[in-house]
Amino acid sequence: MVRALEFKPERTSVQITMTPTCVHPESTTSGCYFHLKQSVLRKVQVCRLKRRYKQDLQLQTLVKCITAFAFVPPDRVAELFEDLSELFPDEGATDDLLTYFKSTYIQKPMIQQRQRSALFPPELLNHYDDSLQLAPKTTNCVEGWHNALKSLYMATHLSVWAMLRGLQKDIAIQ
């Protein structure tokens, strides 16, 4: 008799480079904080703020405050983002950075009196509860496991059967 495996995770983590379209509805999904920081720093480069970011401690602190919104309760993010935006220098490059972050991670501008959701809404990237529960804020543990599997099998795309044979061999060695 074959028993069906039931997979009901309480929590799933995803990289912010992907949009979760089919996730277990009963689990909490959160984005990776490391990838959020990377995306903001890439935008700093695109906005030609890299040199200034490295030299200007105040700008560095303000940019780091942007990524710290991952640790603010989701219902306060939009309000506090507006407050933080007032502290940034009033210039095109920083405005581009703030516009990018707001439309990608908080909310897109209104069109025809309809508010559009951000690509990655605050709830997806929020780690406020995670920090209170000491839960992981990054997908690094999953990425490490994936890299170990790739090196163990010397392949990137395995069939289920090849993976099971490899796991059996690995267990037999231990």
The string of pLDDT tens digits covering residues 97-131 is 999 989 888 876 666 777 677 777 777 777 777 76
Q: What is the pLDDT of residue 19?
A: 45
Q: In this structure, what token pair is assigned to residue 73?
A: 């309760």
pLDDT at 16: 46
Does residue 14 carry a pLDDT above 60?
no
Strand partners, 28: 11
Of the pLDDT bands very low, low, confident and very high (cuts 50, 70, 90), residue 25 is low
Q: What is the dihedral of CA 151, 152, 155, 159, to 10 degrees?
A: -150
Give percent of the chain above pLDDT 70.
62
Among 2-11, 82-91, 163-172, name the most confident range.
82-91
Q: Tell me if 27 sits within 8 A of 46, measured CB to CB.
A: no
Return d(Cα 47, Cα 68) in angstroms, integer: 20
What pLDDT is stored for residue 60 in this prediction?
Answer: 92
**pTM score of the predicted model:** 0.62
142 pLDDT more than 90: no
Cα→Cα distances 57→49, 85, 103, Å: 13, 17, 25
Q: How confident is the model at residue 21 (pLDDT cuts 50, 70, 90)?
A: very low
What's the mean per-residue pLDDT of the chain?
Answer: 76
**Contact (Cβ atoms closer than 8 angstroms) between residue 83 and residue 138:** no
